[in-house]
Amino acid sequence: MGANQGGGGGYRFRWWRHPPESAIMVPGNPREPPGSVNILKTKKVVLGDMGTGKTSMVFRFIKGQFYDYQESTIGASFSTEVVSIDKTTVKFDIWDTVTGKVQWVTTVVFGDMGTGKTSMVLRFIKGQFYDYQESTIGASFSTEVASIGKTTVKFDIWDTAGQERYHSLAPMYYRGAAAAVVVYDITKMVSFERTKKWIEELKRHGNPNLVMVLVANKADLNKNREIDIEEGKQYAKDNNMQFFETSAKTAENLHELFYEIAKRVADAQATHDTPSGMKLEISERQDKGRSLFCCS
């Protein structure tokens, strides 16, 4: 991309998209013999509130592109751009910063095989649902960034396998976690009974400030229900847990589930001053995080 202006002091500038360090910069007037080119390096820091479009501005400048959805910046992002103005080459080092609070929430999902744990996570992370979902082997790891109020929340989610032979691996994931989601299938009483085993183990060996949530999944299959919703609510209440009935298929209550997890983890950290889940304070910003949705 270039521009020209007439007159005795005419100038020309050119843009390069991430040129190699060995790129040859063109003198300002093409009729003049090649001469020395001044190189100016300048550092720019972009500040502003969440959702003001800072990342989109930088992305448009660097790549000439724009997207209606732009994920929140975590910490800060760094970009470079080189511009030739007359006989001066300008190299921009651009820091796109985060304003406000950034909170990391490590969440582990437990439950029997076939309860829909992976479908819940996939719906939350990608907004997708498949009628057939392969069983998780060992555990799978996903991340999601969301803006909740003036806080950017980064969820690190461990989706664990439900098969009994992988149960011994569970402590690797819940030790140090900030939140645990224990899932059962409303159409299978045996899956509800097995949640009790998970909950007791988490209470004995998990982080003492662990936020625990009991989730009754597959609400879209209500006609095949074996566990009454009140029974699930009461068990959660007896164990000082939050309760949600969800459907990965219809996206029911997933937004509320993860919003509540983030809120309760923040409250627990503020109350106990514990680093579990990791919370990071940064001076000013966030961007438009992905909206949270729900599960089967």
The stretch 42-47 carries a mean pLDDT of 72
Report percent pLDDT > 70 for the chain: 69
Q: Is the pLDDT of residue 126 over 90?
A: no
Radius of gyration of the chain (CA): 26
Which domains does the chain possess? 2-97 (3.40.50.300), 101-281 (3.40.50.300)
Reported as type and span, the H/E element at residue 140 is strand 139-148
Pull the structure tokens for residue 125: 């992370």
The single-letter code of the amino acid at 185 is D
Distance separating alpha carbons of residues 112 and 218, to the nearest angstrom = 13
Q: What's the pLDDT tens digit per position in 53-83?
A: 877 887 788 788 887 756 666 556 777 878 7
Q: What's the pLDDT tens digit per position in 94-110?
A: 776 666 677 889 999 99
Helix residue spans in 176-272 (DSSP H): 189-205, 229-238, 254-272
Q: What's the pLDDT tens digit per position in 188-247?
A: 999 999 999 999 999 999 888 999 999 999 999 999 999 999 999 999 999 999 999 999
pLDDT at 185: 96
Concatenating the DSSP letter of every residue in 70-95 gives -PPPSSEEEEEEEEEETTEEEEEEEE
Q: Give the list of residues 6+ apart from residue 151 with CB closer than 8 angstroms, or none.
A: 100, 101, 102, 103, 262, 266, 286
Higher-pLDDT residue of 17 and 176 is 176
pLDDT at 97: 65
Q: Give the list of residues 6+ apart from residue 19 with CB closer than 8 angstroms, or none.
A: 82
pLDDT at 249: 94
Q: Give the list of residues 6+ apart from residue 8 with CB closer than 8 angstroms, or none.
A: none
Q: Is the pLDDT of residue 161 over 70?
A: yes
The single-letter code of the amino acid at 76 is A
Q: Is the pLDDT of residue 120 over 80?
A: yes
